[in-house]
């Protein structure tokens, strides 16, 4: 049972985090430069862990495990997934390359971390993805399995940022090609739509008759 919660958290976090964005571009760029990669990767992964955990714990407390409220929130989350999936599929139709140039001037650790904080916490979508969406889905897990859901989501975040940061020199030539983003965004879009359908079914089933 715990493996299902872990896998759900891992899959959802992975599909949300793997997308073209300022934070990923920043991590990729720093990876290419080989500057402060470890602290940046650790910060990004820990930030996701804290935000997702806060969403699951906070929403669980606010909702009080009310089946009706959880069902309604799940339907709202599924609507967001539908929108996100459609947006990913639209990106796949008109893909853009992601070019992260190395630049000339070195970046200090404090400067790099300040940028990482900005790209992570000043992005409103991070709160929609981690606190609201991941939190609402996490509350659907049985109380004793929510830690496995958060753990799976955190592992996906850690794996992605580690791969992106330390594998940047291998990934950069690949994702500089629009075709690579077309394949990735197509997979993300289809996964999001599948999760949305699943959540709609669960949400409707949880509504009081």
Residue 103, phi-psi category: left (phi > 0), alpha (psi -120 to 50), beta (remainder): left
Per the CB < 8 A criterion, the answer to whether 141 and 82 are in contact is no
Answer whether residue 72 shows pLDDT above 80.
no
CB atoms within 10 A of CB 86: 14
Per the CB < 8 A criterion, the answer to whether 107 and 29 are in contact is no
pLDDT at 100: 55
pLDDT at 136: 81
What mean pLDDT, rounded, does the chain reach? 82
What are the CA-CA distances from residue 168 to residues 25, 42, 99, 130, 163 (Å)?
10, 16, 11, 24, 7
pLDDT at 66: 67
pLDDT digits (tens, 9 = 90+) for 128-144: 788 888 888 888 888 88
């Amino acid at each position: 049972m715990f493996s299902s919660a872990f896998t759900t958290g891992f899959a959802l976090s992975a599909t949300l985090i793997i997308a073209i964005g300022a934070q990923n571009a920043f991590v990729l760029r720093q990876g290419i430069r080989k500057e402060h990669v470890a602290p940046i990767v650790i910060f990004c992964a820990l930030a996701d862990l804290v935000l997702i955990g806060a969403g699951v714990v906070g929403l669980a407390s606010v909702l009080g495990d009310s089946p009706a409220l959880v069902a309604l929130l799940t339907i709202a989350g599924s609507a967001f997934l539908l929108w996100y999936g459609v947006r990913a599929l639209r990106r796949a139709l008109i893909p853009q390359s992601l070019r992260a140039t190395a630049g000339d001037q070195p970046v200090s650790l404090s400067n790099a971390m300040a940028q990482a904080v900005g790209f992570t916490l000043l992005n409103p979508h991070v709160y929609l993805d981690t606190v609201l969406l991941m939190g609402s889905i996490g509350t659907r897990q049985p109380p004793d399995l929510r830690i496995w859901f958060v753990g799976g989501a955190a592992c996906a975040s850690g794996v992605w940022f580690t791969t992106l940061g330390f594998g940047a020199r291998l990934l950069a030539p690949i994702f500089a090609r629009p075709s690579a983003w077309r394949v990735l965004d197509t997979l993300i879009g289809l996964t999001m739509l599948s999760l949305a359908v699943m959540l709609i079914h669960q949400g409707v089933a949880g509504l009081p008759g």
